């Protein structure tokens, strides 16, 4: 009989993916997969504590400098680390430096918790991301190597057919929808040894008729106007969407946050 794992605390480290962007609650705040995971873990563990240090737009160097020392000092049972993907999407990306910083993060976090969780981040199909895909895959090779060396778990979201579906991505084409975040939470939940609540999280959604040419062009125009152009401007001016923004849960405290 499988023994249900007991973890009493969780710290999430990373960028917008872990902050939970595009999974919007009625009050305008973001939930995301890490909050969903914390809620599940807390449901069966009285006094369960949770911190989420992730901030949108952060590069791996900022994560190492601003989040890793705090996470390491918290002494949590589980730490999740997802970072480096923002670096790979920059026109000028020093991949040896990115991998060295990710290595530093893992070397500091792995001894500071019972279980470190890394991820091969999901990636949708599309011409914009195709340009950066070799960098992404180079980063994921580094993730796999670090996990082997330091006893970390790797959740392979990149290889999950369901998460490549455009319907699981928000209109900004960079962040998952609520259903996408739910599937990620399920993937991490299972990786930690919990019994599946959705054994088919990685299974593609049922096929539906694709949108017509006019609808696709309208969506492309909206994406370029509302998201792509502002993103380019931030890159050119050296700004980030996370500048000056604090973490949403900076302290490791009992979790009773929203799940719906």
Per-residue burial over 222-246, b = 16 or more CB atoms within 10 Å of its CB, e = otherwise: ebeeebbeebeeeeeeeebebeeee
Q: How confident is the model at residue 246 (pLDDT cuts 50, 70, 90)?
A: confident
Q: Residue 83's pLDDT is what? A: 96
Is residue 105's pLDDT more than 60?
yes
Mean pLDDT for 229-244 is: 57
Q: In the predicted model, is pLDDT for residue 255 greater than 70?
A: yes
**33-85 tens-digit pLDDT:** 999 999 999 998 999 999 999 999 999 999 999 999 999 999 999 999 999 99
Q: Which residue would you say has higher pLDDT here, 19 or 220?
A: 19
pLDDT of residue 175: 85
* pLDDT confidence bin for 110, thresholds 50/70/90: very high
Confidence at residue 215, expressed as pLDDT on a 0 to 100 scale: 52
- What is the average pLDDT value for the chain, to the nearest integer? 86
- Judged by DSSP in three states, 259 sits in coil
Residue 129 clears pLDDT 70, i.e. is over it? no
Domains, the chain, in order of start with CATH, read 9-252 (3.40.50.1110)
pLDDT of residue 122: 87
CB 136 within 8 A of CB 85: yes
Report the side by side order of strands in the sheet with 249-254.
Answer: 153-156, 115-120, 78-82, 9-14, 49-52, 249-254
**159-213, pLDDT tens digit by residue?**
898 888 888 888 676 889 999 999 999 999 999 999 999 999 988 877 656 666 5
pLDDT of amino acid 207:
66
Is residue 259 scored above 60 in pLDDT? no
| For residues 230-258, average pLDDT | 72
Predicted local distance difference test score (pLDDT) of residue 167: 85
Q: Which helix (H) or strand (E) holds 153?
A: strand 153-156
- CA 253 to CA 50: how far, in whole Å? 6
pLDDT at 1 over 50: no
């Amino acid at each position: 009989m499988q023994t249900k794992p007991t973890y009493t605390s969780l710290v999430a480290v990373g960028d917008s993916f872990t902050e939970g962007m595009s999974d919007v609650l009625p009050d305008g705040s973001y939930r995301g997969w890490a909050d969903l995971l914390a809620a599940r873990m807390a449901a069966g563990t009285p006094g369960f504590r949770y911190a989420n240090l992730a901030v949108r737009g952060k590069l791996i160097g900022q994560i190492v400098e601003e989040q890793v020392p705090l996470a390491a000092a918290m002494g949590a049972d589980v730490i999740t680390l997802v970072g480096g993907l923002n670096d790979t999407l920059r026109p000028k990306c020093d991949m040896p430096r990115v991998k060295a910083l990710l290595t530093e993060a893992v070397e500091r976090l792995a001894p500071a918790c019972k279980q470190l969780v890394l991820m091969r981040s999901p990636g949708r199909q599309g011409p914009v991301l195709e340009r950066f895909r070799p960098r992404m895959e180079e980063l994921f090779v580094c993730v796999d190597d670090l996990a082997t060396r330091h006893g970390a778990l790797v959740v392979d979201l990149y290889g999950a057919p369901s998460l490549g579906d455009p319907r699981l991505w928000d209109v900004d084409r960079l962040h998952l929808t609520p259903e996408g975040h739910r599937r990620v939470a399920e993937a991490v939940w299972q990786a930690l040894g919990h019994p599946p609540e959705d054994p088919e999280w990685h299974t593609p959604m049922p096929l539906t008729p694709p949108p017509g040419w006019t609808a696709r062009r309208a969506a492309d125009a909206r994406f370029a106007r509302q998201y792509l152009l502002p993103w380019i401007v931030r890159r050119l001016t050296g700004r980030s969407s996370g500048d000056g923004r604090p973490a949403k849960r900076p302290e490791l405290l009992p979790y009773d946050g929203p799940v719906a």
